[in-house]
Structure 1
């Protein structure tokens, strides 16, 4: 069994272990908002692990710019939840900074190579609001 699969199963077991208490505290409205955000961060992390595991099971195709942006976006959303829950440390923030720099570089390198049809779907000027 791959290490990633073992890590995923371990994370699933950890979440499963806490579900009865979490459910009870939510039903009785005894769980603090901060604890809810912490648990949400764990679930987002678990979802990310499961998504990556599923993607590794699929046949490998050419990685597209959309794939790269989607994957980075998921990681950034996960970081935002962890930051909100107060579980993101300084080293993690440096990693997020690196993700943002890498994404900016990829977009700068390949952004002008996107099909022009994509650019045509974005309006150049915002619509004017109707006058009084």
Structure 2
């Protein structure tokens, strides 16, 4: 609202002045609870519905495509979808490979621990046999 006023605080033209007066009046009614419109609804009621492809408050002749780019075509969307699908499949394969590597590493660690325990038990068993033989 401030951007449409002169340095002295007055509206630039009568249309803007009327629109601002209507907006202020509806805003006061909203604050008093007389109407249940939100700010966007009040804005639309005062200035009318937006035109398709027109970007309000960005100056004359500006459209949505200039600020946000055009809508993608079906071909572009399909290419994006395929690219995303390909990237996700590659990521899944990478995660699978990493998981297999971790599993193999855990298997090796488990085998090493089992071998170590087996050697310990073998030594203990050998010591028991030697003790039995010495008693005889």
Same fold (TM over 0.5): no
Structure showing greater Rg: 2
Higher RCO, Cα 8 Å, sep 6+: 1
TM-score after normalising by structure 1: 0.31
TM-score after normalising by structure 2: 0.30
